[in-house]
Structure 1
């Protein structure tokens, strides 16, 4: 495939993916059925577009170019979804579960695409720890996206400990993002104030 054609296909894919994510309206209010359905449809559209180009590109591109092209497309997708979710300024408990479910939906439905991007000598391919390490190194925003799913189900103390250990900064989270995330999920309390203070005092 000529460079110019591939470049245009990457641009078209990026535009289509951005439009699909726009349909989620920032993943706001997913505890309401209408918003939840819109967000789910958005993720399904993203998966559909990615699987379509996966099938098309893998069959015609040299492996190195295929991988590089897919990384180029995937990075902004996970970055954008993560950013939108982190911008939500108030999350009900049900919302955190819905958002976590949407992340898992994307990851599970993209498993065949992920496996096509890693070096694996085994006949039986599956997404094990080694596979995720390879993917995280190639697509840093995927690491952050996956970690967000965990954060949505973690206690305030666990989140703070993960920040203090450097684990969250290593995944790409900023101090500002974590402070906003904690304020969005946890009600005001002495413990929340204390944890926010720890995050401010422990810069990445």
Structure 2
């Protein structure tokens, strides 16, 4: 596949994927069945498109070009979904579980694609580390799933240790996330102050 043709294909696929993600309406209100189903369908559409190009491109592209192209596309997808989820300004407890489930749904259903990018046969700890390296936004996407189930103190500690910065989170993103999930309280105020004062 000529470079120009491949570039256009990547642009087209990325546009289709973004359109599919747009169908989730920012992943808002997933604690409501109708909104959850829309978000789930959006993730399923994304997986379908990615699996389709995985099967097509892996068979015709040189490995290095296939790997580079897929990593770029996957990075765009994970960046966009993460961005949308982090923009939610108020999350019900059930909503955090639904969002976490949607992230896991995407990761689990893309396992064969992930394995096509590395030399490993299983998605073990080392494989995920390798994937995080070649698809930078994946690390943040996976960490977001963990954050959705973490306590306020644990999130603050993760920021303080530099772990969240290492995953690509900014101070404002973490502060907004905390405000979206946890009700106003003296502890929340203290943690937000700590996050804002701790250099990233």
Correspondence 1:53-202 to 2 at 5 A: 53-120=53-120, 125-202=121-198
Distance in 1, Cα, partners of 2:146 & 2:165: 14
Aligned partners of 2:7, 2:56: CA distance in 1, in Å?
Answer: 14
Q: Distance in 1 between matches of 2:125 and 2:93?
A: 29
CA distance in 2, matches of 1:117, 1:66: 8
Give the drift of 1:2.
Answer: 1.3
Distance in structure 1 (CA, Å) of the matches to 2:115 and 2:61? 16
After TM superposition, give the deviation of residue 72 of structure 1 in Å: 1.2
Q: Distance between the aligned counterparts of 1:47 and 1:4, measured in 2?
A: 25
1-side partners of 2:52 and 2:5: how far apart? 16
Q: 3-state SS of the aligned residue for 2:89?
A: coil
Residues 99-155 of structure 1: CA distance to partner in whole angstroms, max 9, x if unpaired? 0000000000000000000123xxxx1101111111101111000000000000000
CA RMSD of aligned residues (A): 0.6
Q: Tell me, in whole angstroms, the C-alpha distance in 2 between the residues paired with 1:173 and 1:182.
A: 13
Shift of 1:45: 0.3
1-side partners of 2:192 and 2:119: how far apart?
A: 41
1:77-101 deviation per Cα after TM superposition (whole angstroms, max 9, x unaligned) = 0000000000000000000000000
SS at match of 2:40: helix
Q: Tell me by how many angstroms 1:8 deviates.
A: 1.2
How far apart are residue 34 of structure 1 and its match?
0.5
Q: TM-score w.r.t. structure 1 length?
A: 0.97
**Structure 2: which 5+ residue stretches go unaligned?**
none
